[in-house]
Amino acid sequence: MVGMSPSSLAVVVLAAGAGTRMKSATPKVLHPLAGIPLIGHVLSTAEALNPQQTVVVVRHEAEQVSEAVDTWADNAHIVHQDDIPGTGRAVELALEKIPSDVDNVVILSADVPLLDSETIGAMIGFHQEAEAGVTLLSTIHEDPTGYGRIIRRDDGIVTAIVEEVDADEQQRAIHEVNAGVYVARRDILAHALPSLTTANAQGEKYLTDVVGQVATQSGVVHAVVVEDSWLVEGVNDRIQLQRMQRRLNTMIVRGWQRDGVSIKAPESVWIDLSVQLDQDVTLLPGVTLEGSCHIDNGATIGPDCTLSHARVGAGARIQRSVVDSAVIAAGATVGPFAYLRPGTVINEGGKVGAFVETKNATIGRGAKVPHLSYIGDADIGEGANIGAGSITANYDGVNKHRTVIGPHAKTGSDNVFVAPVEVGAGAYTAAGTTIRRNVPAGALAVAPVSVRTIDGWVGTNRPGTAAAEAAENSRTTPDTH
Ligand code: UD1
Ligand code: CA
């Protein structure tokens, strides 16, 4: 960390706001950005500052937000904000949990997710060098709507921040805006916060009012201008969130392209931060990769695939399919139009073809389930072939049971395997068979079905139809051979 001993620093993350402008049942700070909730990004950044203490202030949907805090931070204290609204009140309550030997407090907003620890470190360095009371990050926005405006004296010293709703016309014309990220001396904050009032357009205790107070009473306030506005962009509504998702995704996609991944239509490919791709992976249009996906070299995914938590081996090929928590080994092929549900494992060179659904199933090396099947709770042996339109009847209404198909077995089209049931190694089953009992290795299972034909039935029962006419013609057409 830049220029100070980590023991003298605490971080406060503000996450108690209602996020009204999102119009969502999900708390704003839990909306995802590249697979990580907004607050997760901020907590990781906070952790990178190596503070003596991290305090997260929650209120709106406190239980859900606290859960996310536990997931994304190792050692954060949670403070519940009371009925008094505003960022100032949030920091006031957080301060009670910060040890008195802490010199400086960094304040981060849980809705400013792209900010990195280097930029914050530079702010802290500047703060210490300038011996400031408060130092904050600002940026120049072409459209400053919605942000607090930075008011500076002629010599550049910051004298106040005015919120959009409280600003007059002249102040609204200012393009330098408050990023909502601060470092402040603990003693100065402790002195200033209790005297904040709610006498403003939103009836809130504004943290930004501390700036005006400090500037006139107890110290100097500096604003460090961040050149790249994206770093300090806040998320308040769905439009801002989407813009940020698009921006971050573009950066992620470019990063993978530089690392040797072919991405045909980058604007249609979405990749979570947690995804790992090897060289010479090809992503065709319309691919979404979520969670812990790891794709090995030479695999081709797409077009139109959604993979979540999938492990894909070298050279595998997946087309127009949905894959959730499945393992697809090297050289395996999936789709088009397959649905691989959790617990599916396709071993090397295996195939799951068109309109096939699998769940909790292992497909052996080189084994094939090529067409129109449901394979659930099953083990398909190496080199086995499952006929088109086959179903594992795995559920008896109470329990699930397994189907085991032996290596190199060949099952006929339109089979139903009533589990628990086993087809032995190298066995065959006939088309249209319902397999209710185990089939021994090397056997052929056929259901004794006899088909009865009734001559002339159509002519008698469907007279005058095209079918009857065709039948009649075929009967009377002279044999020309
Ligand atoms: C805030 C700043 C504004 C700045 C902008 C930058 C204030 C008064 N205004 O405005 O100057 O330009 O951020 O993004 O600080 N929160 C709480 N408790 C509350 C209210 C909010 O913890 O009572 C949290 C929110 O969850 C959020 C953060 O504080 O993470 C900012 O709150 P928000 O309401 O989004 O403030 P802005 O209107 O964006
Ligand atoms: Ca905000």
Mean residue pLDDT of the chain comes to 95
Q: Is 56 in the pocket of ligand 1 (CB under 6 A)?
A: no
Looking at 231, 253, 281, the residue that finishes a domain is 231
471 part of a folded domain: no
Mutate which of 64, 87, 182 to test ligand 1's pocket (most atoms within 8 Å of Cβ)? 87
For residue 303, the domain's CATH number is: 2.160.10.10
Residues 168 and 276 placed together within one structural domain of the fold: no
Range of the domain at 135: 9-231
Tens of pLDDT, residues 326-355 = 999 999 999 999 999 999 999 999 999 999
Question: What is the pTM (predicted TM-score) of this model?
Answer: 0.91
Given a contact cutoff of 8 angstroms between Cβ atoms, the answer to whether 103 and 9 are in contact is yes
Is the pLDDT at 3 greater than 60? The verdict is no
Tens of pLDDT, residues 382-406 = 999 999 999 999 999 999 999 999 9
340 part of a folded domain: yes
Three-state SS letters, 99-142: CCCCCEEEEEECCCCCCCHHHHHHHHHHHHHCCCCEEEEEEECC
Residues 216 and 260 placed together within one structural domain of the fold: no
13 part of a folded domain: yes
Residues 307 and 397 placed together within one structural domain of the fold: yes
Question: What percent of the chain is modeled with pLDDT above 90?
Answer: 94
Ligand with an atom nearest the CA of residue 41: 1
Tens of pLDDT, residues 173-225 = 999 999 999 999 999 999 999 999 999 999 999 999 999 999 999 889 999 99
For residue 180, the domain's CATH number is: 3.90.550.10
465 part of a folded domain: no
Tell me what the mean pLDDT of segment 136-155 comes to: 96
Q: Is 110 in the pocket of ligand 1 (CB under 6 A)?
A: yes
Q: Is 16 in the pocket of ligand 1 (CB under 6 A)?
A: yes
Residues 161 and 251 placed together within one structural domain of the fold: no
Residue 86 alpha carbon, nearest atom of ligand 1: 23
Distances (CA, A) of 134 to 23, 103, 126, 207: 33, 12, 11, 12
Tens of pLDDT, residues 67-109 = 999 999 998 999 999 999 999 999 999 999 999 999 999 999 9
Residues 414 and 328 placed together within one structural domain of the fold: yes
Decide which of 449 and 365 is more confident: 365
Is residue 31 annotated as part of the catalytic site, yes or no? no
Residues 88 and 151 placed together within one structural domain of the fold: yes
State the total domains in the chain: 2
Residues 85 and 154 placed together within one structural domain of the fold: yes
Residues 253 and 185 placed together within one structural domain of the fold: no
Token pair listed for 336? 């088009």
Distances (CA, A) of 226 to 38, 46, 176: 20, 18, 10
Residue 209 alpha carbon, nearest atom of ligand 1: 8
